[in-house]
Chains A and B, each alone.
Chain A
Amino acid sequence: EIVLTQSPDFQSVTPKEKVTITCRASQSIGSSLHWYQQKPNQSPRLLIRSASQSMSGVPSRFSGSGYGTGFTLTINSLEAEDVAVYFCHQSESLPQTFGQGTKLEMK
Chain B
Amino acid sequence: QITLKESGPTLVKPTQTLTLTCTFSGFSLTTSGVGVGWIRQPPGKALEWLALIYWNDDKRYSPSLKSRLTITKDTSKSLVVLTMINMDPVDTATYYCARVFGVVKWFDYWGQGTLLTVSS
Contact = CB atoms under 8 A, between A and B. Distances in A.
Interface of A: 1, 31-32, 34, 36, 43-46, 49-50, 55, 87, 89, 91, 94-101
Interface in B88-120: 96, 98, 104-108, 110-113
A43 to B, nearest CB: 4
Contacts of B37: 96
Contact of A44 (B62, B64, B104, B107): B107
B107 A89 contact: yes
A96 B52 CA distance: 10
Interface of B: 37, 39, 46-49, 52, 60-64, 96, 98, 104-108, 110-113
A101 B62 contact: no
B105 A87 contact: no
Contacts of A87: 46-47
A10 B46 CA distance: 13
Contact of B108 (A49, A97, A101): A49
B47 A98 contact: yes
A89 B112 CA distance: 19
Contact of A95 (B46, B62, B104): B62
B119 to A, nearest CB: 21
Nearest to B4: A43
Contacts of B60: 94-95
A87 B39 CA distance: 13
Contacts of A99: 46
A15 B113 CA distance: 30
A99 B47 CA distance: 8
A46 B106 contact: yes
Nearest to A50: B104
